[in-house]
Structure 1
Amino acid sequence: MVCSVSGPKRAYWMVHTVFDLSRLKLCSVEVTDRREAERLSRGVRAGELRIADRAHAKATDLATVVKAGADFLVRAPSSYPRLLDGDGHLLDRLALCREAGDKGVLDRSVRIQDGKSKIEVAARVVILPLPPEAAAKARRAARRLAAKARYKPSDAGIEMAGYLVLLTSLAADDWPPERLASTYRLRWQIELAFKRMKSLIGLESLRAKDADLARLWINIALLAALLAEDDLPALDPEAPDSLPLAA
Protein backbone atom coordinates (compact mmCIF):
# COMPACT_ATOMS: atom_id res chain seq x y z
CA MET A 1 0.00 0.00 0.00
CA VAL A 2 1.19 3.50 -0.87
CA CYS A 3 -0.36 6.60 0.70
CA SER A 4 -0.26 10.27 -0.22
CA VAL A 5 1.43 12.96 1.85
CA SER A 6 -0.17 13.68 5.22
CA GLY A 7 -3.39 15.63 5.41
CA PRO A 8 -7.01 15.39 6.56
CA LYS A 9 -7.94 13.18 3.59
CA ARG A 10 -5.06 10.90 2.76
CA ALA A 11 -5.40 8.89 -0.44
CA TYR A 12 -4.20 5.30 -0.76
CA TRP A 13 -3.16 3.21 -3.74
CA MET A 14 -2.33 -0.47 -3.99
CA VAL A 15 0.79 -1.59 -5.83
CA HIS A 16 0.22 -5.19 -6.97
CA THR A 17 3.43 -6.91 -8.03
CA VAL A 18 4.68 -10.31 -9.14
CA PHE A 19 8.32 -10.99 -8.26
CA ASP A 20 10.27 -13.60 -10.25
CA LEU A 21 12.45 -15.39 -7.69
CA SER A 22 14.46 -17.18 -10.38
CA ARG A 23 15.70 -13.83 -11.76
CA LEU A 24 15.19 -11.64 -8.66
CA LYS A 25 13.18 -9.21 -10.79
CA LEU A 26 9.73 -7.67 -10.76
CA CYS A 27 7.88 -9.11 -13.74
CA SER A 28 4.51 -7.42 -13.23
CA VAL A 29 3.37 -4.16 -11.60
CA GLU A 30 -0.18 -2.84 -11.44
CA VAL A 31 -1.34 0.26 -9.54
CA THR A 32 -4.97 0.42 -8.42
CA ASP A 33 -7.03 2.21 -5.79
CA ARG A 34 -7.46 0.47 -2.46
CA ARG A 35 -10.82 -1.03 -3.42
CA GLU A 36 -8.99 -3.77 -5.36
CA ALA A 37 -7.68 -6.30 -2.90
CA GLU A 38 -4.45 -8.24 -3.22
CA ARG A 39 -4.94 -11.58 -4.95
CA LEU A 40 -2.53 -14.44 -5.43
CA SER A 41 -4.17 -15.20 -8.78
CA ARG A 42 -3.62 -11.73 -10.28
CA GLY A 43 -2.04 -12.17 -13.72
CA VAL A 44 -1.27 -15.84 -13.12
CA ARG A 45 0.09 -17.85 -16.06
CA ALA A 46 0.36 -21.57 -16.75
CA GLY A 47 3.55 -23.16 -15.47
CA GLU A 48 4.15 -20.65 -12.68
CA LEU A 49 4.64 -21.46 -9.01
CA ARG A 50 3.03 -18.77 -6.85
CA ILE A 51 4.62 -18.47 -3.39
CA ALA A 52 2.97 -16.28 -0.77
CA ASP A 53 2.45 -15.73 2.96
CA ARG A 54 -0.58 -16.34 5.18
CA ALA A 55 -2.65 -13.48 3.77
CA HIS A 56 -2.99 -15.31 0.45
CA ALA A 57 -4.17 -18.68 1.77
CA LYS A 58 -7.66 -18.21 0.31
CA ALA A 59 -9.44 -21.15 -1.31
CA THR A 60 -11.00 -19.12 -4.14
CA ASP A 61 -7.65 -17.66 -5.19
CA LEU A 62 -5.85 -20.99 -4.88
CA ALA A 63 -8.50 -22.63 -7.06
CA THR A 64 -8.04 -19.91 -9.70
CA VAL A 65 -4.27 -20.48 -9.71
CA VAL A 66 -4.72 -24.21 -10.33
CA LYS A 67 -7.37 -23.62 -12.99
CA ALA A 68 -4.88 -21.42 -14.86
CA GLY A 69 -2.39 -24.31 -14.99
CA ALA A 70 -0.11 -22.97 -12.27
CA ASP A 71 0.79 -24.20 -8.77
CA PHE A 72 0.79 -22.59 -5.34
CA LEU A 73 2.85 -22.80 -2.16
CA VAL A 74 1.46 -20.72 0.71
CA ARG A 75 1.78 -20.61 4.45
CA ALA A 76 -1.51 -21.22 6.26
CA PRO A 77 -2.79 -19.27 9.30
CA SER A 78 -4.12 -21.10 12.33
CA SER A 79 -7.80 -20.42 11.61
CA TYR A 80 -8.32 -20.56 7.83
CA PRO A 81 -8.87 -21.82 5.19
CA ARG A 82 -11.06 -24.84 5.94
CA LEU A 83 -9.25 -28.16 5.45
CA LEU A 84 -11.32 -31.26 4.64
CA ASP A 85 -10.37 -34.92 4.49
CA GLY A 86 -11.28 -37.27 1.63
CA ASP A 87 -14.75 -37.84 3.07
CA GLY A 88 -15.49 -34.12 3.35
CA HIS A 89 -15.04 -33.95 7.13
CA LEU A 90 -13.47 -30.84 8.65
CA LEU A 91 -9.93 -31.48 9.91
CA ASP A 92 -8.75 -30.26 13.31
CA ARG A 93 -5.69 -28.12 12.54
CA LEU A 94 -4.33 -28.30 16.09
CA ALA A 95 -4.57 -32.09 16.04
CA LEU A 96 -2.66 -32.13 12.75
CA CYS A 97 0.08 -29.94 14.27
CA ARG A 98 0.38 -32.19 17.29
CA GLU A 99 0.62 -35.22 15.01
CA ALA A 100 3.41 -33.45 13.12
CA GLY A 101 5.12 -32.78 16.46
CA ASP A 102 4.99 -36.48 17.33
CA LYS A 103 6.16 -37.69 13.91
CA GLY A 104 8.54 -34.86 13.03
CA VAL A 105 6.59 -33.97 9.88
CA LEU A 106 3.10 -34.39 8.48
CA ASP A 107 2.24 -34.56 4.76
CA ARG A 108 -1.41 -35.22 3.96
CA SER A 109 -3.77 -34.81 1.00
CA VAL A 110 -6.67 -32.46 1.76
CA ARG A 111 -9.40 -30.38 0.16
CA ILE A 112 -9.17 -26.64 0.80
CA GLN A 113 -12.66 -25.13 1.00
CA ASP A 114 -13.97 -21.57 1.00
CA GLY A 115 -16.45 -21.24 3.84
CA LYS A 116 -18.93 -19.06 1.91
CA SER A 117 -18.83 -20.16 -1.72
CA LYS A 118 -17.87 -23.78 -0.87
CA ILE A 119 -15.32 -23.70 -3.69
CA GLU A 120 -12.76 -26.45 -3.15
CA VAL A 121 -9.29 -27.21 -4.45
CA ALA A 122 -7.19 -30.34 -3.98
CA ALA A 123 -3.92 -29.80 -2.13
CA ARG A 124 -1.44 -31.11 0.39
CA VAL A 125 -1.00 -29.80 3.90
CA VAL A 126 2.59 -30.12 5.04
CA ILE A 127 3.39 -29.33 8.68
CA LEU A 128 6.86 -29.11 10.21
CA PRO A 129 7.56 -28.19 13.85
CA LEU A 130 9.86 -25.20 14.17
CA PRO A 131 13.10 -25.71 16.13
CA PRO A 132 12.51 -25.04 19.87
CA GLU A 133 14.07 -21.55 19.89
CA ALA A 134 12.27 -20.50 16.70
CA ALA A 135 8.97 -21.91 18.03
CA ALA A 136 9.30 -19.96 21.28
CA LYS A 137 10.11 -16.80 19.34
CA ALA A 138 7.10 -17.29 17.05
CA ARG A 139 4.78 -17.77 20.04
CA ARG A 140 6.09 -14.63 21.73
CA ALA A 141 5.50 -12.72 18.50
CA ALA A 142 1.93 -14.07 18.32
CA ARG A 143 1.25 -12.87 21.87
CA ARG A 144 2.72 -9.42 21.12
CA LEU A 145 0.60 -9.13 17.97
CA ALA A 146 -2.53 -10.04 19.92
CA ALA A 147 -1.72 -7.51 22.62
CA LYS A 148 -1.15 -4.81 20.02
CA ALA A 149 -4.46 -5.64 18.34
CA ARG A 150 -6.16 -5.80 21.77
CA TYR A 151 -7.54 -9.29 21.65
CA LYS A 152 -6.93 -12.42 23.70
CA PRO A 153 -5.25 -15.12 21.61
CA SER A 154 -6.52 -18.66 21.93
CA ASP A 155 -4.31 -21.28 23.51
CA ALA A 156 -4.60 -23.30 20.29
CA GLY A 157 -3.47 -20.35 18.17
CA ILE A 158 -0.42 -19.78 20.35
CA GLU A 159 0.48 -23.48 20.23
CA MET A 160 0.13 -23.62 16.43
CA ALA A 161 2.42 -20.60 16.04
CA GLY A 162 5.28 -23.00 16.71
CA TYR A 163 4.67 -24.91 13.48
CA LEU A 164 5.28 -24.19 9.82
CA VAL A 165 2.02 -25.07 8.05
CA LEU A 166 2.23 -25.08 4.25
CA LEU A 167 -0.46 -25.65 1.63
CA THR A 168 0.57 -26.64 -1.87
CA SER A 169 -0.70 -28.09 -5.13
CA LEU A 170 2.75 -29.50 -5.96
CA ALA A 171 3.11 -33.27 -6.30
CA ALA A 172 4.56 -35.16 -3.35
CA ASP A 173 6.87 -37.31 -5.51
CA ASP A 174 8.79 -34.28 -6.81
CA TRP A 175 8.26 -31.97 -3.84
CA PRO A 176 8.91 -33.67 -0.48
CA PRO A 177 8.43 -31.60 2.71
CA GLU A 178 12.07 -30.54 3.04
CA ARG A 179 12.11 -29.19 -0.52
CA LEU A 180 8.87 -27.28 0.08
CA ALA A 181 10.26 -25.67 3.24
CA SER A 182 13.47 -24.70 1.47
CA THR A 183 11.53 -23.23 -1.46
CA TYR A 184 9.11 -21.30 0.73
CA ARG A 185 12.09 -19.82 2.53
CA LEU A 186 13.09 -18.04 -0.71
CA ARG A 187 10.12 -15.72 -0.21
CA TRP A 188 12.23 -13.49 2.04
CA GLN A 189 14.01 -12.26 -1.10
CA ILE A 190 10.79 -10.43 -1.96
CA GLU A 191 10.82 -8.60 1.39
CA LEU A 192 14.44 -7.59 0.82
CA ALA A 193 13.64 -6.30 -2.66
CA PHE A 194 10.89 -4.01 -1.39
CA LYS A 195 13.01 -2.76 1.49
CA ARG A 196 15.69 -1.79 -1.01
CA MET A 197 13.17 -0.02 -3.22
CA LYS A 198 11.72 1.91 -0.30
CA SER A 199 15.17 3.03 0.80
CA LEU A 200 16.07 4.09 -2.73
CA ILE A 201 12.95 6.03 -3.66
CA GLY A 202 10.82 6.54 -0.56
CA LEU A 203 7.92 4.60 -2.03
CA GLU A 204 5.95 4.77 1.21
CA SER A 205 5.48 8.55 0.91
CA LEU A 206 3.53 9.45 -2.20
CA ARG A 207 3.93 12.97 -3.59
CA ALA A 208 0.71 13.08 -5.63
CA LYS A 209 -3.01 13.11 -4.81
CA ASP A 210 -4.59 12.99 -8.28
CA ALA A 211 -5.26 9.36 -9.25
CA ASP A 212 -3.62 9.47 -12.69
CA LEU A 213 -0.65 11.46 -11.40
CA ALA A 214 -0.28 9.05 -8.47
CA ARG A 215 -0.09 6.04 -10.80
CA LEU A 216 2.46 7.85 -12.97
CA TRP A 217 4.58 8.79 -9.94
CA ILE A 218 4.55 5.24 -8.55
CA ASN A 219 5.49 3.67 -11.89
CA ILE A 220 8.32 6.17 -12.44
CA ALA A 221 9.57 5.56 -8.90
CA LEU A 222 9.58 1.79 -9.44
CA LEU A 223 11.40 2.20 -12.76
CA ALA A 224 14.03 4.36 -11.07
CA ALA A 225 14.53 1.74 -8.37
CA LEU A 226 14.94 -1.05 -10.90
CA LEU A 227 17.50 0.95 -12.87
CA ALA A 228 19.42 1.72 -9.68
CA GLU A 229 19.69 -1.94 -8.64
CA ASP A 230 22.97 -3.17 -10.10
CA ASP A 231 24.06 -5.53 -7.34
CA LEU A 232 21.59 -8.32 -6.65
CA PRO A 233 21.88 -10.66 -3.63
CA ALA A 234 22.65 -14.33 -4.09
CA LEU A 235 19.61 -16.56 -4.17
CA ASP A 236 20.31 -18.10 -0.78
CA PRO A 237 17.66 -20.46 0.64
CA GLU A 238 18.67 -19.65 4.23
CA ALA A 239 15.87 -17.53 5.69
CA PRO A 240 16.24 -15.22 8.70
CA ASP A 241 13.62 -17.10 10.72
CA SER A 242 15.43 -20.44 10.34
CA LEU A 243 12.50 -22.48 9.09
CA PRO A 244 13.34 -26.19 9.25
CA LEU A 245 14.62 -28.00 6.17
CA ALA A 246 13.82 -31.43 7.50
CA ALA A 247 12.39 -33.16 10.50
Structure 2
Amino acid sequence: MKASCVFRYAKATLVVGDRAYARAPSLEKVAAAGADFIVRTGWTSVRLTTPDGQRVDWNAIYEPMQPGEVCEMNVLVEHSGRKGRGKPPLPTRLIVKRKDEKATQKAQKAAKRGNQRRCSNRLQPMTLIAAGFVMLLTSVPADELTADEVLQTYRLRWQVELAFKRLKSGMGIHKLPARDERLARSWLTAHLILALMIDEAVTDVLDSPPCEDQTTHGAIAVPLEAA
Protein backbone atom coordinates (compact mmCIF):
# COMPACT_ATOMS: atom_id res chain seq x y z
CA MET A 1 0.00 0.00 0.00
CA LYS A 2 1.46 3.31 -1.02
CA ALA A 3 1.22 5.95 1.68
CA SER A 4 0.53 9.56 0.77
CA CYS A 5 0.59 12.68 2.84
CA VAL A 6 -0.96 15.99 1.89
CA PHE A 7 -0.13 18.90 4.15
CA ARG A 8 -2.63 21.73 4.23
CA TYR A 9 -1.39 25.16 5.23
CA ALA A 10 -3.66 27.06 7.58
CA LYS A 11 -4.56 30.63 6.80
CA ALA A 12 -2.65 33.39 8.63
CA THR A 13 0.14 31.03 9.73
CA LEU A 14 3.89 31.41 9.22
CA VAL A 15 5.76 28.58 7.52
CA VAL A 16 9.52 28.39 8.13
CA GLY A 17 11.64 26.10 5.96
CA ASP A 18 15.18 25.40 4.81
CA ARG A 19 16.51 25.89 1.29
CA ALA A 20 14.92 22.66 0.03
CA TYR A 21 11.59 24.50 0.07
CA ALA A 22 12.85 27.53 -1.83
CA ARG A 23 11.00 26.55 -4.98
CA ALA A 24 8.36 28.55 -6.80
CA PRO A 25 5.63 25.82 -6.65
CA SER A 26 6.17 25.27 -2.91
CA LEU A 27 6.07 28.98 -2.10
CA GLU A 28 3.02 29.48 -4.30
CA LYS A 29 1.09 26.80 -2.36
CA VAL A 30 1.79 28.60 0.89
CA ALA A 31 0.72 31.96 -0.52
CA ALA A 32 -2.41 30.48 -2.14
CA ALA A 33 -3.50 29.14 1.26
CA GLY A 34 -3.30 32.61 2.77
CA ALA A 35 -0.20 31.77 4.82
CA ASP A 36 3.23 33.42 4.87
CA PHE A 37 6.68 31.91 4.57
CA ILE A 38 10.30 32.41 5.59
CA VAL A 39 12.68 30.13 3.71
CA ARG A 40 16.39 30.01 3.23
CA THR A 41 17.62 30.25 -0.34
CA GLY A 42 20.80 30.06 -2.35
CA TRP A 43 21.95 32.07 -5.30
CA THR A 44 20.83 29.26 -7.67
CA SER A 45 17.91 27.84 -5.67
CA VAL A 46 15.22 29.80 -7.44
CA ARG A 47 15.01 32.33 -10.26
CA LEU A 48 14.77 35.82 -8.78
CA THR A 49 14.20 39.08 -10.60
CA THR A 50 13.82 42.69 -9.57
CA PRO A 51 10.34 44.30 -9.78
CA ASP A 52 11.31 45.71 -13.20
CA GLY A 53 12.16 42.23 -14.52
CA GLN A 54 15.97 42.27 -14.28
CA ARG A 55 17.87 39.27 -12.93
CA VAL A 56 19.14 39.78 -9.40
CA ASP A 57 22.79 40.86 -9.49
CA TRP A 58 24.36 38.93 -6.62
CA ASN A 59 27.74 40.61 -6.98
CA ALA A 60 26.11 44.02 -6.57
CA ILE A 61 24.54 42.79 -3.32
CA TYR A 62 27.55 41.00 -1.86
CA GLU A 63 30.43 43.35 -2.62
CA PRO A 64 29.51 46.41 -0.49
CA MET A 65 28.34 44.41 2.53
CA GLN A 66 30.41 44.22 5.72
CA PRO A 67 30.35 41.32 8.25
CA GLY A 68 27.14 41.42 10.27
CA GLU A 69 25.46 43.85 7.88
CA VAL A 70 21.91 43.14 6.71
CA CYS A 71 20.25 44.33 3.53
CA GLU A 72 16.91 43.63 1.90
CA MET A 73 15.17 44.21 -1.40
CA ASN A 74 11.87 43.41 -3.06
CA VAL A 75 12.15 40.61 -5.62
CA LEU A 76 9.92 38.40 -7.74
CA VAL A 77 10.09 34.60 -7.65
CA GLU A 78 9.81 33.46 -11.25
CA HIS A 79 8.22 30.16 -12.26
CA SER A 80 10.26 27.89 -14.50
CA GLY A 81 9.65 24.78 -16.55
CA ARG A 82 6.63 23.72 -18.55
CA LYS A 83 4.24 23.67 -15.57
CA GLY A 84 5.18 27.19 -14.55
CA ARG A 85 4.81 28.70 -17.98
CA GLY A 86 2.45 31.68 -17.96
CA LYS A 87 2.12 31.86 -14.17
CA PRO A 88 2.61 35.31 -12.62
CA PRO A 89 5.73 35.80 -10.46
CA LEU A 90 5.42 35.78 -6.69
CA PRO A 91 6.36 39.03 -4.88
CA THR A 92 8.72 38.42 -1.94
CA ARG A 93 11.40 40.11 0.13
CA LEU A 94 15.02 39.01 -0.18
CA ILE A 95 16.96 39.45 3.06
CA VAL A 96 20.73 38.99 3.06
CA LYS A 97 23.11 38.98 6.03
CA ARG A 98 26.88 38.71 5.74
CA LYS A 99 28.53 36.18 8.05
CA ASP A 100 31.66 36.88 10.03
CA GLU A 101 35.03 35.57 8.86
CA LYS A 102 34.97 32.42 10.98
CA ALA A 103 31.47 31.40 9.89
CA THR A 104 32.34 32.17 6.25
CA GLN A 105 35.39 29.92 6.30
CA LYS A 106 33.38 27.11 7.88
CA ALA A 107 30.61 27.43 5.27
CA GLN A 108 33.10 27.50 2.40
CA LYS A 109 34.80 24.34 3.64
CA ALA A 110 31.39 22.65 3.84
CA ALA A 111 30.62 23.75 0.29
CA LYS A 112 33.89 22.26 -0.96
CA ARG A 113 33.26 18.97 0.85
CA GLY A 114 29.75 18.79 -0.57
CA ASN A 115 31.04 19.38 -4.07
CA GLN A 116 33.62 16.60 -3.65
CA ARG A 117 31.01 14.13 -2.38
CA ARG A 118 28.83 14.83 -5.40
CA CYS A 119 31.84 14.40 -7.69
CA SER A 120 30.68 17.55 -9.44
CA ASN A 121 32.62 19.71 -11.81
CA ARG A 122 34.74 22.60 -10.58
CA LEU A 123 33.04 24.56 -7.83
CA GLN A 124 31.70 27.84 -9.15
CA PRO A 125 33.36 30.92 -7.62
CA MET A 126 29.97 32.44 -6.85
CA THR A 127 29.06 29.39 -4.76
CA LEU A 128 32.05 30.04 -2.49
CA ILE A 129 31.23 33.74 -2.28
CA ALA A 130 27.57 33.03 -1.47
CA ALA A 131 28.63 30.69 1.34
CA GLY A 132 29.56 33.79 3.30
CA PHE A 133 25.97 35.03 3.39
CA VAL A 134 22.62 34.01 4.85
CA MET A 135 19.85 34.58 2.30
CA LEU A 136 16.17 34.39 3.15
CA LEU A 137 12.97 34.85 1.19
CA THR A 138 9.80 35.93 2.96
CA SER A 139 6.30 36.98 2.05
CA VAL A 140 5.80 38.81 5.36
CA PRO A 141 5.49 42.58 4.77
CA ALA A 142 8.22 44.82 6.20
CA ASP A 143 5.73 46.63 8.43
CA GLU A 144 4.95 43.33 10.18
CA LEU A 145 8.46 41.89 10.53
CA THR A 146 11.72 43.77 10.13
CA ALA A 147 14.69 42.13 8.41
CA ASP A 148 16.33 41.42 11.79
CA GLU A 149 13.10 39.87 13.11
CA VAL A 150 12.89 37.64 10.03
CA LEU A 151 16.44 36.43 10.65
CA GLN A 152 15.69 35.79 14.33
CA THR A 153 12.54 33.86 13.43
CA TYR A 154 14.39 31.69 10.96
CA ARG A 155 16.97 30.77 13.62
CA LEU A 156 14.16 29.20 15.66
CA ARG A 157 13.85 26.54 12.94
CA TRP A 158 17.13 24.96 14.00
CA GLN A 159 15.87 24.57 17.57
CA VAL A 160 12.85 22.68 16.22
CA GLU A 161 15.17 20.51 14.10
CA LEU A 162 17.22 19.66 17.19
CA ALA A 163 14.06 18.74 19.09
CA PHE A 164 12.99 16.34 16.32
CA LYS A 165 16.46 14.80 16.21
CA ARG A 166 16.30 14.14 19.96
CA LEU A 167 12.85 12.58 19.61
CA LYS A 168 14.09 10.32 16.81
CA SER A 169 17.38 9.23 18.37
CA GLY A 170 16.20 8.99 21.98
CA MET A 171 12.64 7.74 21.61
CA GLY A 172 12.47 6.31 18.10
CA ILE A 173 9.47 8.48 17.38
CA HIS A 174 10.03 8.17 13.63
CA LYS A 175 9.37 4.40 13.71
CA LEU A 176 5.61 4.12 13.96
CA PRO A 177 4.53 0.61 15.01
CA ALA A 178 0.99 1.09 13.62
CA ARG A 179 -0.44 1.99 10.24
CA ASP A 180 -3.92 2.85 11.47
CA GLU A 181 -4.22 6.64 11.84
CA ARG A 182 -5.92 6.47 15.25
CA LEU A 183 -3.41 4.03 16.69
CA ALA A 184 -0.50 6.01 15.29
CA ARG A 185 -1.90 9.22 16.74
CA SER A 186 -2.33 7.61 20.17
CA TRP A 187 1.22 6.21 20.07
CA LEU A 188 2.68 9.58 19.05
CA THR A 189 0.67 11.45 21.69
CA ALA A 190 1.86 9.12 24.45
CA HIS A 191 5.49 9.48 23.40
CA LEU A 192 5.24 13.26 23.10
CA ILE A 193 3.79 13.45 26.60
CA LEU A 194 6.63 11.27 27.88
CA ALA A 195 9.17 13.48 26.07
CA LEU A 196 7.71 16.59 27.72
CA MET A 197 7.86 14.93 31.13
CA ILE A 198 11.52 13.99 30.59
CA ASP A 199 12.35 17.48 29.36
CA GLU A 200 10.68 19.05 32.41
CA ALA A 201 12.49 16.68 34.78
CA VAL A 202 15.85 17.46 33.17
CA THR A 203 15.13 21.19 33.38
CA ASP A 204 14.31 20.88 37.09
CA VAL A 205 17.61 19.08 37.73
CA LEU A 206 19.60 21.69 35.83
CA ASP A 207 17.87 24.48 37.73
CA SER A 208 18.70 22.86 41.08
CA PRO A 209 22.48 22.74 41.64
CA PRO A 210 23.77 20.10 44.08
CA CYS A 211 24.13 21.07 47.71
CA GLU A 212 27.58 22.18 48.73
CA ASP A 213 29.53 19.45 50.46
CA GLN A 214 30.77 20.73 53.79
CA THR A 215 33.42 18.03 54.11
CA THR A 216 36.95 18.43 52.85
CA HIS A 217 37.12 14.89 51.36
CA GLY A 218 40.49 14.17 52.98
CA ALA A 219 41.96 17.62 52.54
CA ILE A 220 43.42 19.29 55.63
CA ALA A 221 42.40 22.88 56.29
CA VAL A 222 45.10 24.71 58.22
CA PRO A 223 44.09 27.95 59.98
CA LEU A 224 46.01 30.98 58.82
CA GLU A 225 47.16 31.67 62.34
CA ALA A 226 48.82 28.26 62.54
CA ALA A 227 50.36 28.40 59.11
Q: TM-score, normalised by structure 2?
A: 0.74
Cα distance, 1:205–1:229 mapped onto 2, change above 3 Å: closer
Q: 1:123 aligns with which of 76, 86, 92?
A: 92
Unaligned runs of 5+ in 1: 1-10, 14-31, 235-247
Corresponding letter in the other structure for 1:168: T
Q: Quote the Cα distance in structure 1 between the aligned partners of 2:19 and 2:176.
A: 27
Corresponding letter in the other structure for 1:202: G
For the pair 1:142 / 2:107, whether they are aligned, the reply is: no
Higher strand share: 1
Percent of aligned positions that are identical = 31
Q: Quote the Cα distance in structure 2 between the aligned partners of 1:155 and 1:226.
A: 45
For the pair 1:198 / 2:190, whether they are aligned, the reply is: no
Cα distance, 1:175–1:121 mapped onto 2, change above 3 Å: same
For residue 159 of structure 1, report the CA deviation from its aligned partner: 1.1
Q: Quote the Cα distance in structure 1 between the aligned partners of 2:145 and 2:153.
A: 10
User: Counterpart of 1:115 in 2: which secondary structure?
Assistant: coil
Q: Quote the Cα distance in structure 2 between the aligned partners of 1:103 and 1:110.
A: 22
Q: Quote the Cα distance in structure 1 between the aligned partners of 2:43 and 2:32.
A: 26
RMSD: 2.9
* 1:1-40 correspondence runs (5 A): 32=3
For the pair 1:155 / 2:125, whether they are aligned, the reply is: yes
Aligned residue pairs: how many? 195
| Bigger Rg, structure 1 or 2 | 2
8 Å CA contact retained: 1:50, 1:71: yes
For residue 205 of structure 1, report the CA deviation from its aligned partner: 5.8
Cα distance, 1:173–1:150 mapped onto 2, change above 3 Å: same
Deviations 1:161-220 (A, max 9, x none): 110000001111232211111110000122122112112332566778xxx47x788656
For the pair 1:228 / 2:194, whether they are aligned, the reply is: yes
Higher helix share: 2
Cα distance, 1:100–1:173 mapped onto 2, change above 3 Å: farther
Q: TM-score, normalised by structure 1?
A: 0.69
Q: Quote the Cα distance in structure 1 between the aligned partners of 2:108 and 2:184.
A: 37
For residue 114 of structure 1, report the CA deviation from its aligned partner: 1.8
8 Å CA contact retained: 1:99, 1:106: no
Q: Which runs of 4+ in 1 moved over 2 A?
A: 92-105, 199-208, 215-225, 231-234
8 Å CA contact retained: 2:73, 2:95: yes
8 Å CA contact retained: 1:203, 1:218: no
User: Counterpart of 1:182 in 2: which secondary structure?
Assistant: helix
Q: Quote the Cα distance in structure 2 between the aligned partners of 1:221 and 1:136.
A: 44
Deviations 1:50-78 (A, max 9, x none): 00000001112212211221110000023
8 Å CA contact retained: 1:86, 1:111: yes
Query: Which has the bigger relative contact order, CA under 8 A and spacing at least 6?
Result: 1
For the pair 1:173 / 2:143, whether they are aligned, the reply is: yes
Q: Quote the Cα distance in structure 2 between the aligned partners of 1:202 and 1:111.
A: 41
Q: Quote the Cα distance in structure 1 between the aligned partners of 2:168 and 2:161.
A: 11
For residue 98 of structure 1, report the CA deviation from its aligned partner: 2.8
For the pair 1:109 / 2:74, whether they are aligned, the reply is: yes
Q: Quote the Cα distance in structure 2 between the aligned partners of 1:46 and 1:169.
A: 13
Q: Give the match for residue 219 of structure 2.
A: none
Q: Quote the Cα distance in structure 2 between the aligned partners of 1:67 and 1:100.
A: 34
Q: Give the match for residue 48 of structure 2.
A: 83
For residue 222 of structure 1, report the CA deviation from its aligned partner: 3.0
Deviations 1:97-137 (A, max 9, x none): 33444993221001011212143210010101011111111
User: Counterpart of 2:102 in 1: which secondary structure?
Assistant: helix
Cα distance, 1:225–1:94 mapped onto 2, change above 3 Å: farther
